[in-house]
Structure 1
Amino acid sequence: MNLDLRYTEEQELLRDSVRAMLGDHAPWTRVLKVAESTEPDDADLWRLLAVETGLAALAVPEHLGGAGATLAETAVVLEELGRACAPVPYLGTAVAARALLHLGETDLLRAVAGGEVIALALPFATGPAAPPPSDVEVTVLGDGGPLLNGTVRSVAEALRATVLLVPADGGLYVVDVTAAGVVREQVVSLDETRPLCDVAFWNAPARLLASGPRAAAALDAALVTGAALLASEQVGLAQWCLDTTVEHLRTRYQFGRAVGSFQALKHRLADLWVELVQARAAARHAAVCAAADDPDARLAAALAQAHCGPVAVRAAEECVQMHGGIGFTWEHPAHLYLKRAKSAAIAYGTAAHHRSVLAALVDLPSA
């Protein structure tokens, strides 16, 4: 398939509008305030994104209340959300929507278009090609519906969710979080802008969406999409770190000279710029492949995560270090980006996991 990886004019306009919106409603001081609060995310910003502008349902068909766009446009929004380190459950909802699209669940997709948060109840570090066995068991009593029992640990973006998609016993179930027997307990996580929680089910009523190969295919499609979209978020994060560091070195003076004039720092930033250009190409390829249902979507997502995760971490580390003393303080946003980069590096599979996936896809022995 011939894929065009360039940003379209519409996507550039989308980027500009989202960046302006986040500049007004998600400055880093607000992000830090939300991270320090007891709230799981920025509810006002989510309402703006999901309800007032419809950006959470970009890839949902128009007849279901969405925008009828593609995952390529969703990736553009995630770049800007990563650039702002925005504390909203956008990525998880987009991943869950991909599973629902695969299954043709129209009612739940309409809920996504209406601004509801739907989370996939899997551990945060779950990657495609190797989902862990579920600790949740399914029982059926008499003529009643299925009941779920068990615990899923370290689930991302589930604290704001109204609906959970739960893999269990070879099936995929939908659970209302307000139902009896569903308990969510927040756990300590490195990244305060993307909190985690343990979800326990005690005879929780559920509805079966799919079972067997159909459920497995929907779950796999969601995880591959998650890995592809996360790469765009990581690129946006790394771009902010590079831009902010360059601006700081241009204006910071030591020994009568701009710090950015020192050759050693120039070389470090040049190396980071090259890696970021490569990361953007890999992330864009993954997003376009996912949008087009390209046969190479799994390979593209694995390649993007194998490269973009480490690049984002390095960019955030360089940002902290090159800012000197201020970069290590709570009064500068660098720590927010470092935490997001470190946590994102394990979401939907680590770089090592994706290198193993790549090795298998190209028939090479893994290390």
Structure 2
Amino acid sequence: MAPVAERDQLREVVRDLLRKDAGHEQVRASADSAVGYSEDLWRRLNAELEIGRLAVPEAVGGHGFGIADLAVVLEECGAALLPEPVLGSAVLGCQALAAADQPAGIGDLLEPALAGELVVAVSQGGAELTAERTSDGWLVRGRRERVPHGAAADLVVVDAATPEGSALFVLRTDDLEVAARTTIDPTRRQADLAADAAPARCVVGPERAPRALERLRTLTALAVAAEHAGIVGELLRSTVEYVEQREQFGRAIGSFQAVKHRLADVLVDQERARSAARYAALAYDADPAAAALPATIAAAVCGDAAMRTAHEAVQLHGGIGFTWEHHAHYYVRRVLGDEGLFGSSRAQRARVADLVGV
């Protein structure tokens, strides 16, 4: 948990890039574009920072760093509220493909995904998909709803039931029926995907699939927690900046005791969120199989912290904070959208109870 110079340097590099190319107005414009994100910034994130390769083993084309390093990127992306598919593709998608039983067998998909040339969506759980083997390969049938970046993705990784058990498959979205959804969060678009005998390639077979799916679930929890920790930090920074400038009765409102107490509570939330998220990432690097508990705790702690901080930011920005156009409200939308997509803090705490046998 001690500071690591290389991670601090990585944070500054990511922050400098996003400060120039991912201000609030740029994020809004990107989120409102046809694909829902800036394709130019996505290319730069992959060309200059190689985010997809960062935590992928060197043996399959990555750089071999840990999830703790990738979590630094996620914190900064959460702080900037990036609409680019960093979480879905560069983290979950690339990790899912890299975990293949035979990575060389999907090399034509893995390498472009690591380079950001193919966008990968991941859908785990939900309505059951079924897969059957034919003489020409695998065919997948079924429907998945609310897939993050489903409409903009080139590939989607799903779990599907086979006669031997669940397995992980990758499908091309060109072979699926894709229906974009209207959601509260414009910075993380969703789509419904339907497969009617869609050709698929098996990534992880039934023998290894349970462990791979559990690791993917754990990685999702800690990755979202890292984004939420970044959101808390950014909202605290911007709100403090505002209350130091906004005046009432001839004084900056930040000098009022009531405002100070509310911001002190947000600072406590920031420290709790950062500690929980960073510990979960380090635990995953140490032993992914044992990281489910700290990752789920981090998801609960960071989800609560992000929700409280987003609401405080709106309140402390006064009348302007209540408008949908204000940046604080965009963070409210993201946190509410994530709660629906990845589970509420209540659901995460229920999972903690299951994990510890309560």
Do they fold alike, i.e. is TM over 0.5?
A: yes
Aligned twin of 2:95: 98
Q: Distance in 1 between matches of 2:88 and 2:324?
A: 27
Match runs of 1:36-185 below 5 Å: 36-93=32-89, 94-104=91-101, 105-106=103-104, 107=107, 108-115=109-116, 116-122=118-124, 131-132=125-126, 134-141=127-134, 143-169=135-161, 170-179=166-175, 182-185=176-179
Alpha-carbon shift at residue 21 of structure 1 (Å)? 0.1
RMSD (Å), alpha carbons: 1.7
Alpha-carbon shift at residue 317 of structure 1 (Å)? 0.8
Runs of 5+ unmatched residues, structure 1? 123-130
Give 1:339's aligned amino acid.
R
Alpha-carbon shift at residue 77 of structure 1 (Å)? 0.2
Q: Give the TM-score, by structure 2 length.
A: 0.92
Q: Distance in 2 between matches of 1:275 and 1:186?
A: 35
Aligned to 1:345, what secondary structure does the other structure show? helix
Q: Distance in 1 between matches of 2:307 and 2:56?
A: 32
Match runs of 1:1-367 below 5 Å: 5-93=1-89, 94-104=91-101, 105-106=103-104, 107=107, 108-115=109-116, 116-122=118-124, 131-132=125-126, 134-141=127-134, 143-169=135-161, 170-179=166-175, 182-293=176-287, 295-364=289-358
Alpha-carbon shift at residue 249 of structure 1 (Å)? 0.5
Q: Deviations over 1:243-281 (max 9, x none)?
A: 111111111001111101111111111111112101110
Runs of 5+ unmatched residues, structure 2? none
CA contact (8 A) 2:99 2:204 kept: no
Q: Distance in 1 between matches of 2:21 and 2:286?
A: 32
Alpha-carbon shift at residue 56 of structure 1 (Å)? 2.4
- RCO higher in 1 or 2 (8 Å CA, sep ≥ 6)? 1
Alpha-carbon shift at residue 176 of structure 1 (Å)? 1.7
CA contact (8 A) 2:97 2:203 kept: no
The alpha-carbon distance between structure 1 residues 156 and 294, as it changes in their structure 2 partners (threshold 3 A), is closer
Aligned to 2:6, what secondary structure does the other structure show? helix
Q: Distance in 1 between matches of 2:45 and 2:123?
A: 23
The alpha-carbon distance between structure 1 residues 347 and 7, as it changes in their structure 2 partners (threshold 3 A), is farther
Aligned to 1:69, what secondary structure does the other structure show? coil
Aligned to 1:212, what secondary structure does the other structure show? coil
Give the aligned length.
Answer: 348
Give 1:353's aligned amino acid.
A
CA contact (8 A) 2:146 2:341 kept: no
Alpha-carbon shift at residue 189 of structure 1 (Å)? 1.1
Q: Give the TM-score, by structure 1 length.
A: 0.90
